[in-house]
Amino acid sequence: MSALESRALPGTEGATSVFWSPDGRSLGFFAGNKLKRLTLPDGAAVPVCDVVEGIGLAGTWGADGEMLFATVEGSEIVAVSVSSGASAALVRPDETQGEVRVGWPWFLPDGRRFLYLSRLRDGTGHIMLGQRGRASRRLAAAASNAQWVDPDYLVFVRDGILLGQRVDLATANMLGEPFSIAAAIDYSYSTGRTDFAISRAGDVVYQSHTDTSRLLWNDRRGNHLGEVGPAGQYQRVRLSPDGERVLFDRFRSGLGTPDLWILDLRRGGETRLTADRTSEAFPVWLRGGRGVVFMADRGGPPHLFRKDLITEVEEPLLPPGRLQQPDDVSPDGETLAYDQRSTRGNYDILTLPLLSTGRSSVLIGSPFDEVQLRFAPDGRAAAFLSDETGRYELYVAALPGMTSRLRVSAGGARAPQWGAARHELLYLSNAGELIAVPVGTTPSLQLGSPTTLFVVPQGSAWTDFAVSADGQKFLAIVSDSRAAEQPLTVVLRALPAARPR
């Protein structure tokens, strides 16, 4: 803490969910589909055990060389020996109690008892007290990761406010009223993730910022043509088939969960489509703009829902199971393409009939990620991203069998879109270039020469974009700031009765 600059630790490239050993001399983290440990200051990163890849992993290090970590989809909390790598499930959701996910384990200072978050089918949650060989007990109603400070403080979040409250562990009863530590903190109600950490002396560090972005029109040279709607935290944007409405998801302040909105480009004004406390995200239009398909985490891991914009009726398209995210609807309106996490932890692309009672089927599946499928305007081909080369690149293949697969990009790719007027593929390269590639689909699949339209300025990265019907304008989600790049806030002695150093 006395140093002026941070330094990178060799062997931790791609690390996530970093946590300390009890003596503060080592770190645990996840990288490359493995749980690893590293002894400070200059030790090598040593694998402890294999893990399923993906976001959502969280670990904690207890006594006797034992670690706990939660699986990506909340199916179990796993105990693993640091020395042998032997692992076994310690906690699973209790369906008889309405539990659908468990996560965010955190050892108490004794290294044996631990906290974790139990999420219920109705979206609410409880902070639980667990211990090997004993039944878990409920401590507090909250949908948040939690930490403990001796002698008896529980620290957690409700509605975006970081709170502390005393607890009698012998009876598992909360004592007195919770008190505020920080009134603005980066938080997600759906995942329970809160960016904070607390020392045994009661010092707290947290992230109070959130990502912010705007919806901006740009022409084919990158010139700004105007702004749409208010600033916020946007994730996906789609223009309606008639080009008169904008469909998007935007995060709600305090909850950190996205809702769906529609903005009328002719008359102005926004209409909220969803208002659940959990997440509704990644919307796509149904044919004719009469409805939308989206992802929501109601009742379990995120899965697919459909909403009729005329009747306002919502219904699940598939039951909860593996994580699902909608990609696109075919031009004839009959087929939905979506990403689904496999049991291996990667993503495959599946299709689901929308106008019949047919079952889902795998369109593209492999040990690698295949995501973000986009149907060509004539329905004869589809573009998608794959990371089989070690980074995401853009490919196009002929339908219906996804034959004649051609690689489109060479310098990484994301956010692919079709330009209907020019029958071209557009995408963002890893260098921030917006690139257009002509694509012919008859009599066979053909690619033209790529053209760099412009380079998105640094500090104004595009998260996603949509293409106007004439192909001359792009409505982009333009980043204003990223929370992870903003300063942290430190509160000394936030818990004054905590154990001294």
pLDDT at 160: 87
- Residue 214 pLDDT > 50, yes or no? yes
pTM (global) more than 0.75:
yes
Please write the tens of the pLDDT for every residue from 438-496: 999 999 999 999 999 999 988 789 999 999 999 999 999 999 988 888 889 999 988 87
Q: Which CATH superfamily groups domain 212-484?
A: TolB, C-terminal domain (2.120.10.30)
Please write the tens of the pLDDT for every residue from 54-70: 777 899 999 889 999 99
Model confidence at 287, pLDDT cuts 50, 70, 90, reads: very high
Please write the tens of the pLDDT for every residue from 101-155: 999 999 999 999 999 999 998 889 999 999 999 999 999 999 999 999 999 999 9
**What integer is the mean pLDDT of 35-54?**
90
Rounded to whole angstroms, the Cα distance separating 435 from 314 reads: 37
- Over the range 128-145, which residues count as b (16 or more CB within 10 Å of their CB) and which as e? bbbeeeeebeebbebbbb
Contact between 337 and 349 under an 8 Å Cβ cutoff? The reply is yes
Please write the tens of the pLDDT for every residue from 140-152: 999 999 999 999 9
**What integer is the mean pLDDT of 157-165?**
92
Please write the tens of the pLDDT for every residue from 318-348: 988 889 999 999 999 999 999 999 988 899 9
Please write the tens of the pLDDT for every residue from 366-388: 999 999 999 999 999 999 999 99
Tokens describing residue 446: 């053909």
Reported as half-sphere exposure (CB side, CA atoms, 13 A), residue 392 has a value of 19
pLDDT at 497: 65
pLDDT at 501: 45
pLDDT at 499: 56
Beta bridge partners of 277: none
Q: 262: part of which helix (H) or strand (E)? A: strand 258-264
- Residue 297 pLDDT > 80, yes or no? yes
Q: Phi and psi at residue 324, in whole multiples of 5°?
A: -130, 145
Q: Where are the beta strands (DSSP E) in 111-242?
A: 114-120, 125-131, 134-141, 147-149, 153-158, 161-168, 173-182, 196-198, 204-206, 212-219, 224-232, 234-239
- Residue 88 pLDDT > 80, yes or no? yes
Rounded to whole angstroms, the Cα distance separating 305 from 281 reads: 10
DSSP secondary structure code for residue 187 in this structure = B
- Residue 71 pLDDT > 60, yes or no? yes
Rounded to whole angstroms, the Cα distance separating 31 from 45 reads: 10
Mean of per-residue pLDDT scores for the chain: 92
pLDDT at 498: 63
- Residues forming CATH 2.120.10.30 domain(s) in the chain: 16-209+485-491, 212-484
Q: Does domain 16-209+485-491 have CATH number 2.120.10.30?
A: yes
pLDDT at 157: 94
Q: Phi and psi at residue 162, in whole multiples of 5°?
A: -80, 125
